[in-house]
């Protein structure tokens, strides 16, 4: 809504020729309708750019490699799509010889930072305008402004503020702002209410190669197909609802609700496979350092920060071994990994088995334990603890 209103506002305020860009990152939207709304709001020209494949292959794939969950909960859908939307917008700005680019973000959100930082990196010479940071209208006044100028506002956007793409549906505002209340059922679109999901589990087998999904239930998939298939099967089973108190990068917390079935399933399966093949040191380094650091950078609008690529390079080195399959069980909102295997897995049933196979002798065990505990025991003694 902010963006639509901004079109009119920009052309009135600056007498500017406004060229609008809609980037298709997989949101379920009538792009024809968006275009006509843009023209009704005063756009001189409109672009609709299909970036679904690029989003899946260049952004979502990285998120999967990095198990990217901000604060352990948010799969970063909105945060991931912003840099891509900016890069497409900058392309149009260049083609059209524009002297500024604009977005509809307010001064309270994270998105303004993501848009502005990426734009500054890609096109330092372009001015950045954020009308919603300037005009001083509240939600009601905006709706009123739209009405007065004959700009249609879609029904859904009156109650919630929704941002949707292939990876995540983000729901904010309205009833969701009350952190003490369960989100109303009408906030959800991708996932059925878990209690209304089929009373029978669905099993899904995902095969990974170099840390990325390669086939689902034996059928070869690319990243885009994998995300679609898993959103679908997860949603049908009520899997993928997320309720999160989130530390925004702009200094305050907000209550966020997300739907992200594919993300939830892929991260869970991917992390499980990593546990099978990575050494404990690799695993700890990745899960406690690389992954959360990457998610923080992306959340905080620093997609362009050089460290992001360095973290990915370190991860890719380890992901070479993340090959194999994982079987997940979906049932009425729950998700469980129930089986997995990999040719690089270091789990050995023969070694692990309690009744047969390899056993260290009592002497070997004692020697090991003695040296293993020596640092700690010496320190305790010295400290009189
Ligand atoms: N809190 C999330 C983020 O900062 C989602 C924001 C979604 N935006 C929206 N208008 N609903 O990435």
* pLDDT given for residue 159 in this prediction: 86
| Ligand 1 site-directed mutation target among 84, 167, 172, most atoms within 8 Å of CB | 172
Residues 365 and 335 in one domain: no
Domain boundary among 138, 164, 190: 164
Residues 310 and 361 in one domain: no
Residues 198 and 336 in one domain: yes
Pairing of strands 324-331, 334-341: antiparallel
37, 20 contact by CB (below 8 A): no
Q: What is the largest CA-CA distance in the chain?
A: 86
Pocket lining: 162 vs ligand 1, CB cutoff 6 Å: yes
Task: Classify the C-alpha dihedral 1-135-76-81 as positive or negative.
Answer: positive
Pocket lining: 323 vs ligand 1, CB cutoff 6 Å: no
221, 64 contact by CB (below 8 A): no
Residues 160 and 220 in one domain: no
* pLDDT given for residue 157 in this prediction: 60
Residue ranges of the binding site for L-aspartate: 106, 110-111
Ligand 1: nearest atom to the Cα of 76 = 12
Residues 24 and 144 in one domain: yes
Residues 128 and 261 in one domain: no
Half-sphere exposure of 67 (CA within 13 A, CB side): 24
What's the rounded Cα separation, in Å, for the pair 31 and 51? Answer: 13
Domain boundary among 116, 142, 164: 164
- Does the annotation mark 111 as catalytic? yes
Where is 151: in which H helix or E strand?
A: none
Where is 19: in which H helix or E strand?
A: strand 19-24
80, 60 contact by CB (below 8 A): yes
- Does the annotation mark 161 as catalytic? yes
Ligand 1: nearest atom to the Cα of 171 = 11
Quote the domain boundaries for residue 81. Answer: 2-164
- Does the annotation mark 11 as catalytic? no
Question: Ligand 1 centre and the CA of 107: distance in Å?
Answer: 13
* pLDDT given for residue 38 in this prediction: 94
What's the rounded Cα separation, in Å, for the pair 223 and 212? Answer: 8
What's the rounded Cα separation, in Å, for the pair 86 and 7? Answer: 17
Pocket lining: 163 vs ligand 1, CB cutoff 6 Å: yes
Domain boundary among 148, 164, 180: 164
Question: Quick one: tokens of 195?
Answer: 């209690």
What's the rounded Cα separation, in Å, for the pair 2 and 172? Answer: 14
| Ligand 1 site-directed mutation target among 76, 105, 170, most atoms within 8 Å of CB | 170
Say whether 342 sits in a helix, a strand or coil.
coil
122, 87 contact by CB (below 8 A): yes
Pocket lining: 170 vs ligand 1, CB cutoff 6 Å: yes
* pLDDT tens string 170-206: 999 999 999 999 999 999 999 999 999 999 999 999 9
Say whether 293 sits in a helix, a strand or coil.
helix
Say whether 334 sits in a helix, a strand or coil.
strand
* pLDDT given for residue 354 in this prediction: 85
What's the rounded Cα separation, in Å, for the pair 102 and 120? Answer: 12
Q: List the chain pLDDT tens, one digit each, 385 residues.
A: 888 999 999 999 999 999 999 999 999 999 999 999 999 999 999 999 999 999 999 999 999 999 999 999 999 999 999 999 999 999 999 999 999 999 999 999 999 999 999 999 999 999 999 999 999 998 889 889 999 998 887 665 668 989 999 999 999 999 999 999 999 999 999 999 999 999 999 999 999 999 999 999 999 999 999 999 999 999 999 999 999 999 999 999 999 999 999 999 999 999 999 999 999 999 999 999 999 999 999 999 999 999 999 999 999 999 999 999 999 999 999 999 999 999 999 999 888 988 877 899 999 999 999 999 999 999 999 999 9
Closest Cα to atom 2, ligand 1: which residue? 78
Say whether 292 sits in a helix, a strand or coil.
helix
Pocket lining: 161 vs ligand 1, CB cutoff 6 Å: yes
Closest by CA to 165, choosing from 58, 85, 81, 233, is 81
- Does the annotation mark 323 as catalytic? no
Residues 173 and 302 in one domain: yes
* pLDDT given for residue 155 in this prediction: 67
The active-site residue, picked from 82, 241, 255, 271, is 82
Residues 73 and 198 in one domain: no
Residues 353 and 224 in one domain: no
Distance (Å) of CA 178 to CA 41, 164, 181, 182: 33, 21, 6, 8
Closest Cα to atom 8, ligand 1: which residue? 163
């Amino acid at each position: 809504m902010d963006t639509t209103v901004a079109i009119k506002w920009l052309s009135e305020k600056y007498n500017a020729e406004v060229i609008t860009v809609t980037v298709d990152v997989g949101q379920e939207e009538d792009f024809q309708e968006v275009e006509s709304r843009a023209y009704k709001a005063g756009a001189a020209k409109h672009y609709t750019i299909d970036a679904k494949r690029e989003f899946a292959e260049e952004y979502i794939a990285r998120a999967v490699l990095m198990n990217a969950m901000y604060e352990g909960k948010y799969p970063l859908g909105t945060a991931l799509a912003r840099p891509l939307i900016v890069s497409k917008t900058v392309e149009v700005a260049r083609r059209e010889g524009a002297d500024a680019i604009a977005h509809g973000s307010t001064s309270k959100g994270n998105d303004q930072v993501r848009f502005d930082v990426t734009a500054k990196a890609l096109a330092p010479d372009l001015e950045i305008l954020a009308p919603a940071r300037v005009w001083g209208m509240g939600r009601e006044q905006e709706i009123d402004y739209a009405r007065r100028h004959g700009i249609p506002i879609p029904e859904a956007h009156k109650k919630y503020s929704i941002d949707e793409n292939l990876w995540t549906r983000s729901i904010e505002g309205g009833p969701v702002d009350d952190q003490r209340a369960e989100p109303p059922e009408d906030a959800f679109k991708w996932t059925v209410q878990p209690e209304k999901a089929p009373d029978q589990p669905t099993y899904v087998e995902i095969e990974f190669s170099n840390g990325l999904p390669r086939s689902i239930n034996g059928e070869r998939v690319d990243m885009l197909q994998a995300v679609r298939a898993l959103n679908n099967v997860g949603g049908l089973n009520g899997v993928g609802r997320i309720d999160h108190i989130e530390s925004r990068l702009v200094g305050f917390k907000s209550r966020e609700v997300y739907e992200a079935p594919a993300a939830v399933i892929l991260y869970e399966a991917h992390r499980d496979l990593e546990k099978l093949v990575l050494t404990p040191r690799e695993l700890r380094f990745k899960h406690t350092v690389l992954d959360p650091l990457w998610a923080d950078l992306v959340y905080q609008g620093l997609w362009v920060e050089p460290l992001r690529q360095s973290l990915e390079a370190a991860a890719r080195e380890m992901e070479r071994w993340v090959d194999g399959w994982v079987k997940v069980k979906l049932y009425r909102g729950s998700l469980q990994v129930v089986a997995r295997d990999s040719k690089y897995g270091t789990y050995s049933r023969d070694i692990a088995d309690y009744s047969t196979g390899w056993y260290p002798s009592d002497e070997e065990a004692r020697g090991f334990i003695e040296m293993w505990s020596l640092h700690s025991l010496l320190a305790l003694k010295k400290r009189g603890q």
